[in-house]
Structure 1
Amino acid sequence: MRIGVVCNCFQKSGGMESYTLDIVEEFLKVGHEVVIFTKKYDSSLPLASKVQIYVNKLTCIPHKIDDIFFSKWINKKKKKLNLDIVFGCCRNSASDVILCGGTNIGYLRAINKENKGLLNKIRTSFERKTYNDVKCIVAHSKLVKNELVNLYGLNPDKIHVIYPPVNSEKFHPVSNDDKLKLREKYDLEKDKMYFLFPSSGHERKGLPFLMDYFSKTDKNTELLVVGRSLENPCKNIRSLGYVSNIEELYQACDYSILASSYEPFGLIGIESVLCGTPTVLADNIGCCEVLKEPAVNKFSRKDKDSFAKLMDNLCSLKNVNANNIINTDSILYDLSVKVHVQKLLSI
């Protein structure tokens, strides 16, 4: 088949971008031709030379409404390309199937923000029309499907829940000896409890919520923040900046943690468990649907007292790093890109 893929960026960056690269690579592996429509791409990517790429930078269009113009451009282009199917990895009206990792209205509701302003209203109206007109939608969690049904009034029959794949070759457990070596590499004390907070957006991922606990606790613990550097980290919080081998920190730490206000799925939870490290997650995070105890410790963002009790209990455990290796059977779906793509193509 000739498969079209629409994305904002064809490059390594955030979760949706990595997901796009994964499925494109699998499409190619099984013998399909792939045509990419994007706003920007990394020409140094090995995949870039294996696909046909069309780029529209839309530099003069306001970001909040550029999807409208992007979609019109794609619709013109694809008429001449003889495509069998087009998958959309971003908001657009030119795809046959939208792969939905979250919604604008769901996000605004989660952060208690009103949909004010002309450009915001235009974007939301375009998103609503896109979801109504598209043939079918793949939601990356039941949480996302519920948003599409309840907030957009969509027929649930056109929405398929297919959880996103994760690279189990990259994310895997290590021996206790290797774990100790990694702790030494990252200057982690043997007897201290470490919670890893990988973040692409500290506010949305819940850093202020977590800081409230870590800055006040007298437990022997530390929050390791990966991502944008913190200018003035407070007590029990260390900023590591951007890290290329994030799997090593999952393997070295005792827990990963997220307190996101809006997290339609949350690959961090899955990646952590694959590395043998349990996770601490707000109960509104999508991947809680597919993780079972003891891999996941859930809490409510609405109850800081119960969160503090949970954290105090976890921090009181001894030798978590040596003894609390989590079995990947705690993940309740098939993680492989191959199976994920098979499901996409069978819709």
Structure 2
Amino acid sequence: MTQNIAISINRFSRGGGMESYTFDLIRAFSSPNRHIHVYATKFDTTLPEYAQIDPQLINQKHTPKKLRPFFFTHQLQKYRQANEQLISCNPSDHADIFICGGTHLGHVHNICREPNLINKLLDKLTIHRNRTNYRTAKSIMAHSALMARELTEFYGVPSEKIRVVYPPADTERFSPASPEEIAAIRSRYGFKDHETVFLFPSTGHKRKGFDMLADFFTQTDLPVKLAVAGSPLPRPMKNIIELGFCKNMPELYRAADYTIMASLYEPFGLVGVESILSGTRVVLADNIGCTEVMNDQAGFFFSRANPETLADAIQKAVALKESGKHKLANPAEALTYNPSLHEHFGALQAMLEAV
């Protein structure tokens, strides 16, 4: 079993999916006889996981902010120890395992943004950095088959270098609640019994497809509400309620009737799995990566290219809610993989041993 493990991440602090994934790995690897180096540009020393690591600061205090990602890997190599295996959770070269949670060419292909000179230059630098990351990695863990396809089609990475391993979810934190508990939570949030509440977790409304959802919810006469958890709304809108930033996501998943996303680009989308584990079905665009691990019991799926399919999915969801059979009694039956950290850690260990 590997003893000398190193993990690289931009910032060792609460943040997005890759930061959460890093903490999962630390909890899984942590043991009295294992030494975990973590390379990062910033450390939150108040986190409980901080006590489980040997922090290695990559000092970028005098590096321009937009250029910091491009200098990170060079700085890391100066400090990296020869006898450790590196798991890269951020763009780094010479990783033993490179964790691919998304590619920049995939992002550019799916997200339309202003084609100004700065964006073009940063895109070019980022794509070049991606190529060196993938080329120098001994092995790549793709968090979805979508990622594996982008690696081979966009970057020419040999398929034998890639292994698809879906990301873990906290199977203890995200779990179903009793009807009585759900009713109490809904009452606190002001969710009406006769309304079908669709939870929309988002800190980036454009990429998450808010515009498409808003077009439907503001025009429909169905008894529905879109509950937005995360970034503020641009203005008050019919049938849309703003919850703000919410720390207790398991509670929100349980309270909602469905979780909904219409993302332009979503390499995986762990919120879909977390919702199902909480007993709440999903309504998802079929281009979202996590739909790969869901069967028909998981909910309803639609095409971003055809708004009529969104309307159809929501109508079916409302009908199921009104029948009283919309909650999942056994969430595991709606998923086609085991999302436990133990299962994921076993696959990661096998990859480390193979390299």
TM-score, scaled to structure 1: 0.95
- Relative to 1, partners in 2 of residues 1:47 and 1:324: Cα closer, same or farther, differing over 3 Å? closer
Residue range with higher mean Cα deviation, 270-279 or 331-340: 331-340
- Structure 1 residue corresponding to 2:315, chosen from 293, 312, 317: 312
Gaps of 5+ in 1: none
Matches within 5 A, 1:239-318: 239-318=242-321
* Cα distance in 1 for residues equivalent to 2:144 and 2:226: 28
Q: Structure 1 vs Structure 2: percent identity of aligned residues?
A: 36
**Residues 331 and 6 of structure 1: is their aligned pair in 2 closer, same or farther, counting only changes over 3 Å?**
same
Q: Which residue of structure 2 lines up, in the alignment, with residue 46 of structure 1?
A: 48
User: Cα offset for 1:170?
Assistant: 0.4
Distance in 1, Cα, partners of 2:8 & 2:254: 34
Partner of 1:117: 120
Distance 2:236 2:191 in 1: 17
Q: Does 1:100 align with 2:100?
A: yes
Note if 1:218 corresponds to 2:221. yes
How many angstroms apart in 2 are the aligned matches of 1:84 and 1:181?
50
Q: 1:117 to 1:98 in 2, by over 3 A?
A: same
Tell me if 1:333 matches 2:337: yes
Unmatched 5+ stretches in structure 2: none
Amino acid at match of 2:49: L
SS in structure 1 of the partner of residue 30 of structure 2? helix
Matched-pair contact (CA < 8 Å) for 1:110–1:261: yes
* Residues 64 and 123 in structure 1, CA contact (< 8 A), matched pair in contact too: no
Deviations 1:175-227 (A, max 9, x none): 11111111112111111100000112111011111000000000111000000
Alignment of 1:1-347 (within 5 A): 1-29=3-31, 31-78=33-80, 81-112=81-112, 117-319=120-322, 323-327=326-330, 328-347=332-351
Which segment is superposed worse, 21-30 or 290-299?
Answer: 21-30
Judging changes above 3 Å, is the alpha-carbon distance between structure 1 residues 108 and 291 closer, same or farther for their aligned structure 2 residues?
A: same
- Please give the alpha-carbon distance, in whole angstroms, between the structure 2 residues aligned to 1:70 and 1:273: 37
Deviation, 1:42, is 0.8
Query: What amino acid is the match of 2:333?
Result: D
Q: Indicate how the Cα distance of structure 1 residues 345 and 233 shifts in structure 2: closer, same or farther if over 3 A, else same.
A: same
| Pairwise CA distance, 1:57 | 4.3
Aligned-residue offset at 1:31: 4.3
Question: SS of 1:218's equivalent?
Answer: coil
Q: List 4+ stretches of structure 1 deviating above 6 A.
A: none
Shift in Å, 1:157: 0.3
Q: Does the 8 A contact of 1:65 with 1:122 survive in 2?
A: no
In structure 1, how many angstroms separate the alpha carbons of the residues matched to 2:85 and 2:223?
54
Label 1:295 to 1:31 Cα distance change in 2 as closer, same or farther (>3 A). farther
Q: Distance in 2 between matches of 1:323 and 1:334?
A: 22
- Partner Cα distance (1:275, 1:167) in 2: 10
Q: Which amino acid aligns with 2:97?
A: V
Superposition deviation, residue 322 in structure 1: 5.7
| Maintained 8 Å contact 1:278/1:326 | no
Look up the SS of the partner of 2:9 in the other structure.
Answer: strand
Give the superposition deviation at 1:10: 1.1
Distance (Å, rounded) in 2 between the aligned partners of 1:224 and 1:83: 49
AA aligned to 2:149 is N
Report how many residues are paired. Answer: 345
Amino acid in the other structure paired with 1:66: R
Deviations, residues 255-286 of structure 1 (Å, cap 9, x unaligned): 00000000000001100100111001100000
SS of 1:204's equivalent? coil
Q: Is the 8 A contact 1:255 1:277 kept in 2?
A: yes
Q: Which amino acid aligns with 1:240?
A: L
Deviates more, 1:288-297 or 1:108-117: 108-117
- Work out whether residues 295 and 326 of structure 1, in 8 Å CA contact, stay in contact via their aligned partners in 2: no
Deviation of 1:323 (Å): 4.9
**Residues 276/53 of structure 1: CA separation in 2 closer, same or farther (3 Å cut):** same
**Contact residue 18 and residue 89 of structure 2 kept, 8 A:** yes
| TM-score, reference length from structure 2 | 0.93
